[in-house]
Amino acid sequence: MSDDVTQPNAWAELRRLTAARIGLARSGASLSTAPLLQFALAHAQARDAVHEALDEDKLAADLDALDLPVLKIASAVTDRAQYLMRPDLGRQLGQGADSVLAPHRGPYDVAVVVADGLSARAVQAHAAPVLHNILGALRRQDWRVAPLVIARHGRVAIGDAIAARLKADAVIVLIGERPGLSSPDSMGAYLTWQPQPATTDADRNCISNIRPDGIGYADAAFKIVALLQAMRVRRLSGVQLKDESDRLMLEQ
C-alpha cells in the first residue's frame, strides 16, 4: 500500500486557463488557507482601485502621443469620497469646464472622453493603447475627431454634456469599471449617438471588460469602430442598435 495520502486535483489544469475561482480547496466547511488569502488580496486590490486617484498628467502625456489636443476638466464632484456618495454630481460638468471646452467647439463626428470612474488604474493602463487603434481606423475613414477630454471624477453621462459643448454627433466614454474580485483594472467603453440632456442608459452601447485578460485592445477598438460606423449609418444607438462586430470580424 502507498504512503502517499494526497489526491490529484482534477481542477488544476482547468484553473490554469481562467482567472475565475473554480475548484477551490476546502478544509471541512471552510476554504483552505491559500484560496482564502488570495480572496482577501483580491478584495483589497478592488478596494484600492476604487479609491485610487487618477494621475492626470501621466494620462495626458500618454494621450498626447495620439496627435490630438488633450483637454482636462473635472465633474462637479470635489473629492473621491463625494464621488462615491453622489453619482449625480459625477454626471455634471464642474466649474471651469465650459471655458476649457468652448474654444474647441466643432462640428465633429465624434468626441472621446476618458473618465476615471470606479477604477482609475483601468483607464491609466488601457485608454491610450485602445485609442491608438480607434483613432487609426477613424482617420483612415476621414472622421472628424474632437480634442480628447480627460474628465476627473466623471460618470458615463458626463460625456453627454461634453459632446454637446463640443458639438459632436457621437461620443465615446472610456471609463474605469466597478472592480471585480479578479479584475481591478477593467475598462468600459460607452458609445452614444447624438447625446442629449434626456439621454438614458438605454440609448448607449457598451463594451465591457477591456483589458489584456478580457477583451484585448485591438478587438475592443474593432468593436467600437464598427458600432460607430453603424451609428452613423442608422443614426441611432443603444438598445435599437445591435452589435454585429463579431460577424464582421469573422468575415475579414
Instruction: Enumerate the known binding-site residues for adenosylcob(III)alamin.
Output: 156, 177, 206
Distance of CA 7 to the CA centre of its chain: 42
Q: Which of 60, 59, 54, 95 is nearest to 77 (CA)?
A: 95
Query: Could you please report the per-residue DSSP string of 23-54?
Result: S--EETTEE-HHHHHHHHHHHHHHHHHHHPPP
Please give the annotated binding residues, written as ranges.
Answer: 156, 177, 206
Question: What φ, ψ does residue 207 adopt, rounded to 5°?
Answer: -120, 120
For residues 77 and 153, the answer to whether their CB atoms sit within 8 Å is: yes
Name, in order, each residue with C-beta under 8 angstroms of 57's C-beta and a sequence gap of 6 or more: none
* 202 grid coordinates: 438605454
Category of 216 on φ-ψ map: left (φ > 0), alpha (ψ -120 to 50) or beta: beta
- Distances in Å between the Cα of 249 and the Cα atoms of 27, 43, 143, 228, 252 are 46, 36, 21, 15, 5
Half-sphere exposure of 252 (CA within 13 A, CB side): 9
